[in-house]
Amino acid sequence: MNPLEPGDTLDHYRIEAAIARSGMSALYKATDLHDGKLVAVKVPLAEMEANPELFERFKREEEIGQMLDDPGIVKTYNDEERSRVYMVIEWVDGRLLRTILNAERKLPIERAVRIALGICGALDYMHKRGIVHRDLKPENVMVDADDRIKLIDFGIAMKEDARRLTFVNLTAMLGTPDYISPEQVKGSRGDQRSDIYALGIMLYEMLTGRVPFEGQNPLAAMNERVLNEPTSPRGLNAEISPELEEILYRALERDPRHRYATAHEMAWDLEHQEQVGVEERGMRPAARGVRQAVPRRMLLYAGLVLMPVLLFGLMLLLAKR
């Protein structure tokens, strides 16, 4: 089926512009001819419709979207019969958090915390309903003129009680390298604490202008978060308080058992920073902003960790072909 063009109609939606295209779907800005409202229309590509597993993922994304009704989450509509498969999504005015960060590099502390609190609220709502986003990143957060947020793109979200879907050549299922949690790097499907980890990375980036784990390539960056602690955020931005740094460390714990268990817990600390107890971390590489050499006894562990990372890289190469 040919791509839609401006002026085309899809049932009672008039296509106004093409917005984005991924390996699985195309996103359009459209007008609902029934009431004149702007909406976003997400249409699966022909190759997705022909692949039963990919098509099931698209339908699951629609199902998850229709379960969620919160001011911090983009709405997915389902109110009529359609001539083909597509999703109709709330049109959101604002800018992607990525666009804001590209323009400003880092944000004032008060603004960064305000945006993070908005994301916490949306995550808390989702998680209480058994939904995990699994691909939180600045590209999937819309911010309006008053810094209110909406989470978008539930393409790899999951219901915690749903069966696992396994795909070949679909690296998106693993999340985005800069924001993926250590447990996902090691092959876990992740849970709500994985979303909290991704939020910790986004808050770190908003406060410092960089992500906490970097490398010459995505594989190196993923390996860093499994073996090392993040560089001290206060070493990159002296305006960050010890309490706010502690919140970042708690969100970015490598072991999910030591991380914030819920987004509500993280939000409480962000709102009551004066009551956050600061752990002594002077002996950790994170506090000094340096990396320690990996002892010989950890080489076997490192090898085991690298196996899923290398698999990720192989899938990435195959997906680009």
Identify the CATH number of the domain in which residue 82 sits.
Answer: 3.30.200.20
What CA–CA distance (Å, rounded) separates 221 from 162? Answer: 30
Say whether both 176 and 315 belong to one domain. yes
CA–CA distance, 49 with 296 (Å, rounded to integer): 49
User: Could you give the number of structural domains in the chain?
Assistant: 2
The CATH number of the domain where 209 resides is what?
Answer: 1.10.510.10
9-65: pLDDT as tens digits:
999 999 999 998 877 889 999 999 999 999 999 999 887 777 887 788 888 888 899
Burial of 155 (0-12, 13-18, 19+ CB in 10 A): buried
> In this structure, are 107 and 234 located in the same domain?
yes
Which one of 36, 67, 90 terminates a domain? 90
- Look at residue 112 in the predicted model and tell me its pLDDT: 98
135: annotated active-site residue: yes
The pLDDT tens digits for 94-148 are 999 999 999 999 999 999 999 999 999 999 999 999 999 999 999 999 999 999 9
User: Using alpha carbons only, what angle is made at residue 96 by residues 85 and 112, rounded to the nearest 5 degrees?
Assistant: 135
Report how far residue 192's alpha carbon sits from residue 196's, in angstroms, rounded to the nearest whole number: 7
Residue 290 is predicted with a pLDDT of 36
**Of residues 35, 79, 93, 135, which has the active-site annotation?**
135
The closest of 69, 70, 64 to 119, measured between CA atoms, is 70
1 within a domain of the structure (yes/no): no
Neighbours of 160 (CB within 10 A): 12
